[in-house]
Amino acid sequence: MLRRPTVPIPVGQGKSIDDILSEMKLTAFQGRKLAETVDVWSRMLRKRRTVIWFGFAGAMIPAGMRRLLAYLIKKRMVDVIVSTGANFYHDAFEVAGGKHYLGNEVCDDRKLRRQRIDRIYDVYADEDRFYQFDRWLDNVFGEQLQDNYQYSSREILWQLGKAFYDKYGEVDSTLVSSYRKGVPLFCPAFGDSALGFSLMFANRKRKRNLILNAFKDVDESSRITEKAKNTGVVYIGGGTPKNFIQQTSVIASYQTRHDRSHNFAVQFTMDMPFWGGLSGCTFEEAQSWGKISSNASAITCYVEATIALPLVVHALAERFRGYKREVPTFDWVNDNVELTFEKTKL
Amino acid sequence: MLRRPTVPIPVGQGKSIDDILSEMKLTAFQGRKLAETVDVWSRMLRKRRTVIWFGFAGAMIPAGMRRLLAYLIKKRMVDVIVSTGANFYHDAFEVAGGKHYLGNEVCDDRKLRRQRIDRIYDVYADEDRFYQFDRWLDNVFGEQLQDNYQYSSREILWQLGKAFYDKYGEVDSTLVSSYRKGVPLFCPAFGDSALGFSLMFANRKRKRNLILNAFKDVDESSRITEKAKNTGVVYIGGGTPKNFIQQTSVIASYQTRHDRSHNFAVQFTMDMPFWGGLSGCTFEEAQSWGKISSNASAITCYVEATIALPLVVHALAERFRGYKREVPTFDWVNDNVELTFEKTKL
Amino acid sequence: MLRRPTVPIPVGQGKSIDDILSEMKLTAFQGRKLAETVDVWSRMLRKRRTVIWFGFAGAMIPAGMRRLLAYLIKKRMVDVIVSTGANFYHDAFEVAGGKHYLGNEVCDDRKLRRQRIDRIYDVYADEDRFYQFDRWLDNVFGEQLQDNYQYSSREILWQLGKAFYDKYGEVDSTLVSSYRKGVPLFCPAFGDSALGFSLMFANRKRKRNLILNAFKDVDESSRITEKAKNTGVVYIGGGTPKNFIQQTSVIASYQTRHDRSHNFAVQFTMDMPFWGGLSGCTFEEAQSWGKISSNASAITCYVEATIALPLVVHALAERFRGYKREVPTFDWVNDNVELTFEKTKL
Amino acid sequence: MLRRPTVPIPVGQGKSIDDILSEMKLTAFQGRKLAETVDVWSRMLRKRRTVIWFGFAGAMIPAGMRRLLAYLIKKRMVDVIVSTGANFYHDAFEVAGGKHYLGNEVCDDRKLRRQRIDRIYDVYADEDRFYQFDRWLDNVFGEQLQDNYQYSSREILWQLGKAFYDKYGEVDSTLVSSYRKGVPLFCPAFGDSALGFSLMFANRKRKRNLILNAFKDVDESSRITEKAKNTGVVYIGGGTPKNFIQQTSVIASYQTRHDRSHNFAVQFTMDMPFWGGLSGCTFEEAQSWGKISSNASAITCYVEATIALPLVVHALAERFRGYKREVPTFDWVNDNVELTFEKTKL
């Protein structure tokens, strides 16, 4: 147990981001964990015929993470995505030219209210621009959806990605890049966002009958884990994205009568296990449920995502430049999905 | 600014829970905040014609909070509830005789897996009992729902409360007590739970066509805040319950063209504002959005809910014994809701 | 492992604080832990010939905890105390008539500065009163200390307790109550406080030669654990109090060549193990060092102290009313300490 | 207020660490804060005649940070250091050939105890090697100190740095590099560590009379801030290092009758303001006390230090390569200190 000593990091010029993370691997605490997340993610990418689930919660798009997330999609370092309605809303908003602004968390929020400025910690946004965009969703995008059809969130988000691609072309966006790369997007709490309430207004004001059937989301998402023999998960924060991805393995194990627990797991979070919630629970706890495999490579790093993502994505970009990964393609036929894997250069 | 000194708490015998909290009000830090949450909640209860939204996330039912929550419902200290599918699932499970067990968070989770014991921090549960209950939901409860009807989560949860009341009678339960008291329950991420995936199996295995239309949830919930002139919010944790309740004021203000920001706000959380997410954001931040009124009485206490709830609920019980509150009744007619207030003894 | 079910707390009138904590013991998460801290502390009090170390960090006195702490001392529910200079300073300040005031953490600190108001989260204090008190320490109390004598912090704090007792009589105070009850107080970072810098000014301005020899603190404190066969520890927060008490067992085990690890351990903290520091480390980690016994009854509750202390102290007061505990007396002779235990009614 | 939009980070190859941090400056949350700490630190380094205080708590040396800290000292990016006894102890231990090992925080601590392995979160150490080193401190280093002389911690640490330099030559070490560069080291809770208790044993076992006068530490440290017109502070964690540096400005302002509040302030911490303690308090709170100037450039980043330090030190190294800074030299004459500044190439 006393074989491998920690190696104090020497300071040097010209280090790349992967260099410094590799050095942090021989240190301790959360610095070491951060380095190990890159290693576990790397193992997922190298493992044959593996589907990588990616869940992200928290205001990642207003926080300037949009292009990092788009990169993961475009390079197929993630295969299926689950996030909150807010993130897809803000992604769409930015693609449509909306801006988020550098603000200050030490401020007078009542004054911001009077100026119609919405605050997200140290980010500001123009409320009137949000309202304009809501109207576009309601009046224009809503018209592109069919009445009476039972949509899954995946189908609506695909439609939204298509709408934006048709209008704005190739842009770095979770919606557009996923549309272009065939990466399914799920949003299990779609109604719980401006995306959801804007489309609700299409029903209410324009006498539409748009339907987002929550059961279809569960069905579609679990079918992916049923079909995939190997799965990995990467979580930015907790919330519905984490639980929704975790539960696919419970459903899939029940349905297939085989162990479909996830084989690789990475988690960046600031939520703690001590409060007993699913968001903060450890991968060890998840092993008791069979959500994460008892043999999984799993690592949690307690760090806020705006620190972790820029570093980890660049380290992966450096490490996997030109690498050929077996990337899954999803074909949705008669409410079921077929997976095919093909070697693709990242 | 130096007028009211802190008063060190003297130790005495025979204090009630409201006594000690009242003394904590003259101390500092989170002890004072905890005492202040009782005061703000009290103000909500005394304010005429006020609707109190109650959002709770985290595994509150496995943690032994079921009867405290049921008390709040039965005594109408809360009027509309939003929670996670997991909480309603575990509530139903306990009503049906299922148990959660005292466990230990320092343990061997792989061994638990082999014994089919699921862990929630320091609570254990029998996985096979969960599976049996899932089958009841799928096979028995699912049969009580109609094909092709567009349900809101409120409607399904009302049906579930009714099913349990018919079978088990008057029991302390968020589902049953809410059914009996006419308290609407919403679950914006219904699919993201065993409740959701069990009903999905009804569709998949039994060729049913159950529909939970997420847009209907948004519609129904926002109509409540549209109709209510005064609203208060109480949040246990963040997640979809918090955001979903917050957004009703955004929708209602837009729809009514009047300020429908919430007038009272209480929050118990261990999530921090520094991570930029909605779960941990301050009520000040919410004021910039007009979700919480600039004039609101608002207090956040950073404490885990299993400590706060027993204390706060008992302090309210002591303080409001026999009090007559103006309690709202919700009548759902043609997809809209009518509110009537009536003085009711708590 | 599935034998003892959680018991949801029923709501009732007329519960005492010990009642509700006893009910919380059958729930989960930090609510259960809080209840268990009372049990472990109770076991320490019932165990024969046991010395209870009590470490508290954080601004407990400004936060209104003075009389609760004094109660623990007067009733001899703690036997030796380690804290920060700031706490003893604020204790003395309050005894001398100084006040701490109810303030607000959402404020303009630059304005406070202009008004010479010092802020401690949501507590305010009058800076000029602090300055006056510093001068009393420097000019009056400093004169009561001898030049050239090598003091331990225990001896200076005893002298300070005596000075206040002589002037103000029997008051609830960590300093005065400890002086009266023979409870030793240690302050391993004495210089790191207004107490320390005020006495430094006695040296600098009045050409005194006051000496506080840090090595004497280590010597005296470790001798207590050397002599005691059974020890318990209670920590409010971490910092130097926690480490200083932990290290007495390392020193004592080395010196006596017997295992002197602490046998009971209770910790209330908001610091987390993930950051690798001593303040947040678990009692399990401490077991690897032999600081806490491998057989210890040990419990950590993650809760802020201003919530925990009022509840736990009242629960102990209810539970141990009239109980006769074997209380240790410390006799300091020739730099060594003798312990004698006597049954005393709490 | 809506002038500067956030700029989503694009992914690219060949970025340096300063490159990515500069991009993070236009994002949000703690990622932006991390980037801003480099900017505020840079401003300190560029400001003429400025003394930079550096406080670090937490087990930084076992965590592999020794050479990063030594770099800051050698390149004079810090001027005066305050830390815990544990850090200086572990620094000395590593210089003397001791090792810290890569361990695992999910482990059996009782088994570690039986194997005499001490755990620091995910770092292991050989307890017997610690004991050997303690004996060297006690028996060999203790002999190099004088009886009856009133040492400050600075003087003992200087002596220790000298002893190691004489024995091991030029090594990367907080002790040795500081000795070589004339950087004063303070340890206000010296007794609270293995360094402290080993030297106590010199007194106890070898009848020495070593004296570490805590008041001398306060005197010496405050004289630095009295003499310096501009000061900056950098805190890794809180604890005694943070408070001790903060209080030098209170003492210096009182003594000089001029405002000696610190002009620049950077803090990396995982402690939160909500618990009311000094470790977690904001720089805004410190402004109310006049510890930090009302006009200060101040930034707090909530991140664990083993993530922050490797990144921030490398970014500074890249940015200040070859830069000529006005570096202070400290001359201690008759218990007072003289400061002279000289341009030195970093």
Report the gap between the CA of B112 and the closest CA in chain C (Å): 9
* Option in C64, C305, C310 nearest B6 (CB): C64
Q: CA B265 to CA B53: how far, in whole Å?
A: 9
Which residues of B fall within a CB distance of 8 Å from C3? Answer: 101
Are the Cβ atoms of D306 and A4 closer than 8 angstroms? no
- CB < 8 Å to D303, chain A: 303-304, 307
Of A103, A17, A29, A21, whose CA–CA distance to A59 is shortest?
Answer: A103
Active-site option among C291, C324, C343, C345: C291
CB contact under 8 Å between D200 and C191, yes or no, is: no
B30 to C306: CB separation less than 8 angstroms, yes or no: yes
Q: Would you put residue A116 in left (φ > 0), alpha (ψ -120 to 50) or beta?
A: left
Q: What is the pLDDT of residues D60-95, one digit of tens each?
A: 999 999 999 999 999 999 999 999 999 999 999 999
Residues of D in contact with B273 (CB under 8 A): none
Å between D74 CA and nearest CA of chain C? 26
Report domain extents, chain D.
Answer: 17-345
Residue of A129, A289, A293 for testing the chain B interface, max B β-carbons within 10 Å? A289
Token pair recorded at residue D248: 């030098």
Query: Measured between alpha carbons, how far is A310 from D32 in angstroms, rounded to an integer?
Result: 11
pLDDT above 70 as % of chain A:
100
Kindly report the nearest CA distance between residue C25 and chain B, in angstroms: 9
pLDDT at residue B335, rounded to an integer: 84
With a cut of 90, say whether residue C334 has pLDDT above it: no
Query: Are the beta carbons of B275 and D28 separated by less than 8 Å?
Result: no
Which residue of chain D is at minimal alpha-carbon distance from B301?
D274
With contacts defined as CB-CB under 8 Å, which chain A residues touch B197? 218, 222, 247, 250-251
Query: Cβ of A276 and C302 within 8 Å?
Result: no
Q: What is the pLDDT along chain B (346 residues), one digit of tens a residue?
A: 999 999 999 999 999 999 999 999 999 999 999 999 999 999 999 999 999 999 999 999 999 999 999 999 999 999 999 999 999 999 999 999 999 999 999 999 999 999 999 999 999 999 999 999 999 999 999 999 999 999 999 999 999 999 999 999 999 999 999 999 999 999 999 999 999 999 999 999 999 999 999 999 999 999 999 999 999 999 999 999 999 999 999 999 999 999 999 999 999 999 999 999 999 999 999 999 999 999 999 999 999 999 999 999 999 999 999 999 999 999 999 889 999 999 999 8
Report DSSP letters for B289-336, one per residue: TTSEEEEEEEEEEES-HHHHHHHHHHHHHHHTTT-EEEEEEEEEETTE
Q: Which residue's structure tokens are 């932006």? A: D32
ipTM over 0.85: yes
pLDDT attached to residue B334: 85
Residues of C in contact with D123 (CB under 8 A): 276
Select from C15, C123, C314 the Cβ nearest to the Cβ of B314: C15
What value does the CA radius of gyration of chain B take, rounded to a whole number of Å?
21
**Residue among B28, B275, B302 whose CB faces D29 most closely:** B275
The mean pLDDT value for C199-223 works out to 97
Angle between the N-to-C axes of helices A85-95 and A127-136, in degrees from 0 to 180, rounded to the nearest 10: 90
**pLDDT for the residue B50:** 98
| Model pLDDT, residue A179 | 98
Of B211, B214, B281, the CB nearest to A191: B214
Q: What is the pLDDT of chain D when averaged over all its residues?
A: 97
Question: For the domain with range D17-345, which CATH number is right: 3.30.830.10, 3.40.50.300, 3.40.910.10, 3.60.15.10?
Answer: 3.40.910.10
Average pLDDT of A105-129?
Answer: 98
Residues of A engaging C, defined by a Cβ cutoff of 8 Å: 28-30, 272, 274-276, 302
> Could you give the C-alpha distances from D50 to D43, D194, D256, in angstroms and in order?
10, 34, 17
Which H helix or E strand runs over A36?
Answer: helix A29-46
Q: Which of D30, D274, D302 sits opposite B30 (nearest CB)?
A: D274
Which spans in C169-299 are helix H? Answer: 174-181, 194-206, 214-227, 239-256, 283-288
Q: How many CB pairs under 8 A join A and B?
A: 213
Whether the predicted pLDDT of C50 surpasses 90: yes
Contacting chains of D (3 CB pairs or more, <8 Å) are A, B, C
D249 near D225, Cβ under 8 Å? Answer: yes
pLDDT for residue A48: 97
Write out chain A residues lying below 8 Å of C29, CB-based.
Answer: 274-276
- Model pTM above 0.90: yes
Contact C85, D188 (CB under 8 A): no
Chain A interface, best mutation among B56, B199, B200, B306, by max A CB count within 10 A: B200
CA distance C65 to B20: 13
Task: Give the distance from residue C27's alpha carbon to the nearest chain B alpha carbon, in angstroms.
Answer: 5
Instruction: Identify the contact set of chain B against chain D, taking CB-CB distances under 8 A.
Output: 28-30, 272, 274-276, 302
Report the CATH superfamily, name and number, of domain A17-97+145-345: Deoxyhypusine synthase (3.40.910.10)
Q: What tokens appear for C50 in the block? A: 């046991």
Nearest C-alpha in C relative to B123 = C28
The shortest C-alpha distance from C271 to chain B (Å) reads 13
Residue D144: pLDDT over 90: yes
* A64, A99, A112: residue with CB nearest D27: A64
Contact D304, A31 (CB under 8 A): yes
D157-188: string of b/e by CB count within 10 Å (b at 16+)? bbbbbebbbeeeeebbbbbbbbbbbebbbbbb
Do residue B8 and residue C66 have CB atoms under 8 angstroms apart? yes
Which chain C residues are within 8 Å of B6, Cβ to Cβ? 62-64, 99-102, 123
Q: How many angstroms separate the Cα of D141 from the Cα of each of A340, D133, D138, D160, D162?
A: 69, 10, 6, 8, 11
Of C191, C273, C288, the CB nearest to D218: C191
User: Is D291 among the residues known to form the active site?
Assistant: yes
Helical residues (DSSP H) of A121-238, grouped into ranges = 127-136, 153-168, 174-181, 194-206, 214-227
Quickly list DSSP for A240-303.
Answer: HHHHHHHHHHHHHHHHHSS---EEEEEEEES--GGG--STT--HHHHHHTTSEEEEEEEEEEES
C25/C38 Cα distance (integer angstroms): 10
Tell me phi and psi for residue C101, to 5 degrees: -120, 150
